[in-house]
Amino acid sequence: MSEKQLPSIIAIDGPAASGKSTIGKRLADTLDYLFFDTGVMYRAITWLALQRGLDMCNGAAITTLAESVSIDVLPPSQADGRACDVVVEGQDITWETRRPEVDANVSVVAAYPGVRRALSAQQRRIGQRGRVVMVGRDIGTVVLPEADLKIYLDASAEERARRRCDEIIARGEWADYDEILAKVIERDRIDSTRDVAPLKAADDAVVVDSDHLNADEVFQQILALCK
Ligand code: CDP
Protein backbone atom coordinates (compact mmCIF):
# COMPACT_ATOMS: atom_id res chain seq x y z
CA MET A 1 0.00 0.00 0.00
CA SER A 2 1.61 3.28 -1.04
CA GLU A 3 1.58 5.94 1.66
CA LYS A 4 0.78 8.64 -0.94
CA GLN A 5 -2.52 7.08 -1.91
CA LEU A 6 -3.89 6.89 1.60
CA PRO A 7 -6.61 9.38 2.48
CA SER A 8 -5.01 11.88 4.84
CA ILE A 9 -8.13 13.15 6.60
CA ILE A 10 -10.55 10.36 7.52
CA ALA A 11 -13.90 11.34 9.05
CA ILE A 12 -16.03 8.76 10.84
CA ASP A 13 -19.48 9.91 11.93
CA GLY A 14 -22.42 8.03 13.33
CA PRO A 15 -24.88 7.70 16.22
CA ALA A 16 -24.13 6.87 19.86
CA ALA A 17 -22.32 3.57 20.45
CA SER A 18 -22.05 2.66 16.77
CA GLY A 19 -18.42 1.61 17.31
CA LYS A 20 -16.78 4.74 15.91
CA SER A 21 -14.21 5.01 18.67
CA THR A 22 -13.12 1.36 18.64
CA ILE A 23 -12.82 1.26 14.86
CA GLY A 24 -11.37 4.75 14.57
CA LYS A 25 -8.66 4.05 17.15
CA ARG A 26 -7.68 0.79 15.49
CA LEU A 27 -7.60 2.43 12.07
CA ALA A 28 -5.46 5.31 13.35
CA ASP A 29 -3.03 2.90 15.03
CA THR A 30 -2.79 0.81 11.85
CA LEU A 31 -2.09 3.82 9.63
CA ASP A 32 0.03 5.55 12.27
CA TYR A 33 -2.37 8.51 12.26
CA LEU A 34 -3.63 10.66 15.10
CA PHE A 35 -6.91 9.41 16.57
CA PHE A 36 -9.20 12.24 17.59
CA ASP A 37 -12.51 11.50 19.27
CA THR A 38 -14.40 14.81 19.20
CA GLY A 39 -17.17 13.49 21.48
CA VAL A 40 -14.80 13.71 24.44
CA MET A 41 -14.66 17.50 24.05
CA TYR A 42 -18.45 17.80 24.39
CA ARG A 43 -18.27 15.36 27.29
CA ALA A 44 -15.52 17.40 28.99
CA ILE A 45 -17.55 20.62 28.80
CA THR A 46 -20.64 18.81 30.08
CA TRP A 47 -18.75 17.38 33.05
CA LEU A 48 -17.20 20.75 33.87
CA ALA A 49 -20.58 22.50 33.64
CA LEU A 50 -22.09 19.94 36.03
CA GLN A 51 -19.11 20.29 38.39
CA ARG A 52 -19.56 24.03 38.49
CA GLY A 53 -23.28 23.68 39.14
CA LEU A 54 -24.31 25.41 35.92
CA ASP A 55 -27.92 25.03 34.84
CA MET A 56 -28.02 22.83 31.71
CA CYS A 57 -30.64 25.26 30.31
CA ASN A 58 -28.21 28.16 30.55
CA GLY A 59 -26.72 28.10 27.06
CA ALA A 60 -24.94 31.43 27.52
CA ALA A 61 -23.04 30.28 30.62
CA ILE A 62 -22.11 26.95 29.06
CA THR A 63 -20.95 28.69 25.88
CA THR A 64 -18.75 31.04 27.93
CA LEU A 65 -17.28 27.97 29.62
CA ALA A 66 -16.58 26.27 26.26
CA GLU A 67 -14.92 29.44 24.98
CA SER A 68 -12.68 29.86 28.00
CA VAL A 69 -11.52 26.34 28.76
CA SER A 70 -8.84 24.55 26.84
CA ILE A 71 -9.34 20.80 26.56
CA ASP A 72 -6.35 18.62 25.81
CA VAL A 73 -6.98 15.31 24.09
CA LEU A 74 -3.71 13.40 24.33
CA PRO A 75 -2.44 9.90 23.50
CA PRO A 76 -3.38 7.44 26.28
CA SER A 77 -1.03 7.56 29.28
CA GLN A 78 -2.48 4.39 30.83
CA ALA A 79 -3.53 1.01 29.48
CA ASP A 80 -6.89 0.96 31.27
CA GLY A 81 -9.12 0.78 28.21
CA ARG A 82 -9.03 4.49 27.36
CA ALA A 83 -8.50 5.58 23.74
CA CYS A 84 -7.02 8.93 24.80
CA ASP A 85 -6.42 11.11 27.84
CA VAL A 86 -8.81 13.99 28.40
CA VAL A 87 -7.09 16.72 30.40
CA VAL A 88 -8.61 19.98 31.56
CA GLU A 89 -6.61 22.51 33.55
CA GLY A 90 -4.02 19.87 34.42
CA GLN A 91 -6.59 17.35 35.68
CA ASP A 92 -7.08 13.96 34.00
CA ILE A 93 -10.87 13.68 33.62
CA THR A 94 -10.92 10.78 31.13
CA TRP A 95 -13.22 8.52 33.13
CA GLU A 96 -15.31 11.35 34.58
CA THR A 97 -16.44 12.12 31.00
CA ARG A 98 -18.01 8.62 30.83
CA ARG A 99 -20.22 9.06 33.89
CA PRO A 100 -24.00 8.51 33.49
CA GLU A 101 -24.80 12.15 34.33
CA VAL A 102 -22.56 13.21 31.43
CA ASP A 103 -24.30 10.71 29.11
CA ALA A 104 -27.65 12.15 30.16
CA ASN A 105 -26.74 15.79 29.52
CA VAL A 106 -24.12 15.84 26.75
CA SER A 107 -26.57 16.09 23.84
CA VAL A 108 -28.21 19.15 25.37
CA VAL A 109 -24.82 20.82 25.81
CA ALA A 110 -23.73 19.82 22.28
CA ALA A 111 -26.84 21.42 20.77
CA TYR A 112 -25.85 24.97 21.85
CA PRO A 113 -24.54 26.76 18.73
CA GLY A 114 -21.90 28.69 20.71
CA VAL A 115 -20.52 25.51 22.25
CA ARG A 116 -20.30 23.92 18.80
CA ARG A 117 -18.60 27.00 17.36
CA ALA A 118 -15.93 26.97 20.06
CA LEU A 119 -15.21 23.25 19.90
CA SER A 120 -15.48 22.83 16.11
CA ALA A 121 -12.86 25.54 15.59
CA GLN A 122 -10.38 23.63 17.80
CA GLN A 123 -11.24 20.35 16.05
CA ARG A 124 -10.81 21.86 12.60
CA ARG A 125 -7.38 23.25 13.43
CA ILE A 126 -6.19 19.82 14.53
CA GLY A 127 -7.83 17.95 11.63
CA GLN A 128 -6.38 20.19 8.95
CA ARG A 129 -2.90 19.01 9.85
CA GLY A 130 -3.84 15.70 8.17
CA ARG A 131 -2.91 12.09 8.94
CA VAL A 132 -5.87 12.00 11.25
CA VAL A 133 -8.88 9.81 11.95
CA MET A 134 -11.50 12.13 13.40
CA VAL A 135 -14.62 10.68 14.94
CA GLY A 136 -17.90 12.44 15.79
CA ARG A 137 -21.34 13.44 14.52
CA ASP A 138 -20.58 16.29 12.11
CA ILE A 139 -16.99 15.79 10.99
CA GLY A 140 -17.79 14.99 7.34
CA THR A 141 -20.61 17.52 7.12
CA VAL A 142 -19.33 20.56 9.05
CA VAL A 143 -15.94 20.28 10.78
CA LEU A 144 -13.91 18.88 7.86
CA PRO A 145 -16.12 18.75 4.77
CA GLU A 146 -12.93 18.45 2.71
CA ALA A 147 -12.08 15.07 4.34
CA ASP A 148 -10.55 12.60 1.87
CA LEU A 149 -12.65 9.70 3.14
CA LYS A 150 -15.98 9.97 4.96
CA ILE A 151 -17.58 7.04 6.66
CA TYR A 152 -20.98 6.97 8.34
CA LEU A 153 -21.02 4.05 10.74
CA ASP A 154 -24.53 2.94 11.59
CA ALA A 155 -26.30 0.17 13.54
CA SER A 156 -29.79 -0.30 14.98
CA ALA A 157 -30.50 1.26 18.37
CA GLU A 158 -31.01 -2.24 19.86
CA GLU A 159 -27.60 -3.46 18.69
CA ARG A 160 -25.92 -0.30 19.91
CA ALA A 161 -27.57 -0.54 23.32
CA ARG A 162 -26.41 -4.16 23.56
CA ARG A 163 -22.83 -3.15 22.80
CA ARG A 164 -22.91 -0.28 25.30
CA CYS A 165 -24.27 -2.69 27.94
CA ASP A 166 -21.45 -5.17 27.29
CA GLU A 167 -18.89 -2.35 27.55
CA ILE A 168 -20.21 -1.28 30.96
CA ILE A 169 -20.37 -4.85 32.25
CA ALA A 170 -16.80 -5.45 31.02
CA ARG A 171 -15.73 -2.53 33.22
CA GLY A 172 -17.23 -4.39 36.18
CA GLU A 173 -20.24 -2.12 36.50
CA TRP A 174 -23.96 -2.90 36.52
CA ALA A 175 -26.00 -2.14 33.38
CA ASP A 176 -29.72 -2.21 32.57
CA TYR A 177 -30.39 -2.88 28.88
CA ASP A 178 -33.83 -1.23 28.67
CA GLU A 179 -32.60 1.89 30.39
CA ILE A 180 -29.57 2.12 28.10
CA LEU A 181 -31.71 1.57 25.01
CA ALA A 182 -34.05 4.40 26.05
CA LYS A 183 -31.07 6.72 26.59
CA VAL A 184 -29.47 5.81 23.25
CA ILE A 185 -32.76 6.57 21.45
CA GLU A 186 -33.16 9.88 23.28
CA ARG A 187 -29.58 10.96 22.53
CA ASP A 188 -30.03 10.07 18.83
CA ARG A 189 -33.24 12.11 18.77
CA ILE A 190 -31.58 15.23 20.19
CA ASP A 191 -28.43 14.81 18.05
CA SER A 192 -30.31 14.38 14.78
CA THR A 193 -32.96 17.06 15.28
CA ARG A 194 -30.82 19.96 16.55
CA ASP A 195 -30.64 23.10 14.37
CA VAL A 196 -26.86 23.30 14.12
CA ALA A 197 -24.79 20.45 12.65
CA PRO A 198 -27.33 17.66 13.20
CA LEU A 199 -26.23 14.05 13.02
CA LYS A 200 -26.54 12.88 9.41
CA ALA A 201 -24.45 11.19 6.75
CA ALA A 202 -22.62 13.56 4.38
CA ASP A 203 -23.80 13.18 0.77
CA ASP A 204 -20.41 11.75 -0.16
CA ALA A 205 -20.03 9.46 2.88
CA VAL A 206 -19.80 5.68 2.59
CA VAL A 207 -22.49 4.25 4.87
CA VAL A 208 -21.41 1.12 6.75
CA ASP A 209 -24.19 -0.75 8.55
CA SER A 210 -22.55 -2.77 11.31
CA ASP A 211 -25.63 -4.60 12.63
CA HIS A 212 -24.55 -8.01 11.41
CA LEU A 213 -20.80 -7.47 11.51
CA ASN A 214 -18.38 -7.96 14.38
CA ALA A 215 -15.77 -5.31 15.19
CA ASP A 216 -13.11 -7.04 13.12
CA GLU A 217 -15.34 -7.28 10.04
CA VAL A 218 -16.22 -3.58 10.30
CA PHE A 219 -12.56 -2.72 10.65
CA GLN A 220 -11.56 -4.76 7.58
CA GLN A 221 -14.33 -3.17 5.54
CA ILE A 222 -13.22 0.34 6.50
CA LEU A 223 -9.52 -0.43 6.00
CA ALA A 224 -10.34 -1.64 2.49
CA LEU A 225 -11.94 1.75 1.77
CA CYS A 226 -8.64 3.44 2.63
CA LYS A 227 -6.64 1.52 0.04
O1 CDP B 1 -19.41 7.38 22.60
P2 CDP B 1 -20.76 7.84 22.14
O3 CDP B 1 -21.03 7.48 20.70
O4 CDP B 1 -21.87 7.43 23.03
O5 CDP B 1 -20.80 9.41 22.21
P6 CDP B 1 -19.66 10.44 21.92
O7 CDP B 1 -19.10 10.22 20.55
O8 CDP B 1 -18.73 10.45 23.06
O9 CDP B 1 -20.46 11.81 21.86
C10 CDP B 1 -21.20 12.28 22.97
C11 CDP B 1 -22.18 13.35 22.51
O12 CDP B 1 -21.44 14.51 22.06
C13 CDP B 1 -23.08 12.98 21.34
O14 CDP B 1 -24.26 12.33 21.74
C15 CDP B 1 -23.37 14.34 20.71
O16 CDP B 1 -24.42 14.98 21.38
C17 CDP B 1 -22.10 15.14 20.98
N18 CDP B 1 -21.19 15.21 19.81
C19 CDP B 1 -21.48 16.12 18.84
O20 CDP B 1 -22.50 16.79 18.90
N21 CDP B 1 -20.63 16.31 17.80
C22 CDP B 1 -19.50 15.59 17.70
N23 CDP B 1 -18.68 15.81 16.67
C24 CDP B 1 -19.21 14.62 18.66
C25 CDP B 1 -20.09 14.43 19.72
| Tens-place pLDDT, residues 33-54 | 999 999 999 999 999 999 999 9
∠87-14-134 over CA atoms, to 5°? 45
| Cα 3 to averaged position of ligand 1 atoms, centre (Å) | 30
pLDDT at 3 over 70: no
Nearest alpha carbon, ligand 1 atom 13: 107
Question: What's the burial of 109, exposed, middle or buried (CB within 10 Å: 0-12/13-18/19+)?
Answer: buried
Q: Are 139 and 12 in contact (CB under 8 A)?
A: yes
Element (H, E) at 34: strand 34-37
Residue 4 has a pLDDT of 55
Q: Are 97 and 44 in contact (CB under 8 A)?
A: yes
**pLDDT number for residue 139:** 98
Ligand 1: does its nearest atom lie under 6 Å from the Cβ of 112? no
Residue range 135-142: mean pLDDT, rounded: 97
Compute φ and ψ for 74, nearest 5 degrees.
Answer: -120, 160
Beta-strand relationship, 34-37 and 71-74 = unpaired
Q: Is 46 in the pocket of ligand 1 (CB under 6 A)?
A: no
| Binding site membership of 118 for ligand 1 (Cβ less than 6 Å) | no
Instruction: Tell me if 105 CB under 6 Å of ligand 1.
Output: no
Which pLDDT score is estimated for 171? 83
In the predicted model, what is the mean pLDDT of the chain?
94
Euclidean distance between CA atoms 56 and 62, whole angstroms:
8
- Check residue 2 and give its pLDDT: 47
At how many degrees (to 10) do helices 39-51 and 59-68 cross? Answer: 110
Please give the pLDDT value at position 5. 81
Per-residue pLDDT band for 1 (boundaries 50, 70, 90) equals very low
CB 13 within 8 A of CB 202: yes
* Residue of the CA atom closest to atom 12 of ligand 1: 39
Residues sharing a CB contact under 8 Å with residue 114, sequence separation 6 or more, in sequence order:
59, 60, 62, 63, 66, 67
| Residue, of 55 and 172, whose pLDDT is higher | 55
Predicted pLDDT of residue 184: 94
Ligand 1 atom 20, closest CA: 110
- For range 145-152, the mean pLDDT: 98
**What is the pLDDT, as a whole number, of residue 80?**
86
Write the pLDDT tens digit of every residue in 65-97. Answer: 999 998 988 888 999 888 889 999 899 999 999
Residues in contact with 18: Cβ distance below 8 Å, sequence separation at least 6, in sequence order: 153, 154, 155, 160, 210
Contact 110, 142 (CB under 8 A): no
* Separation CA 14–CA 79 (nearest Å): 26
- The whole-number pLDDT of residue 60 equals 98
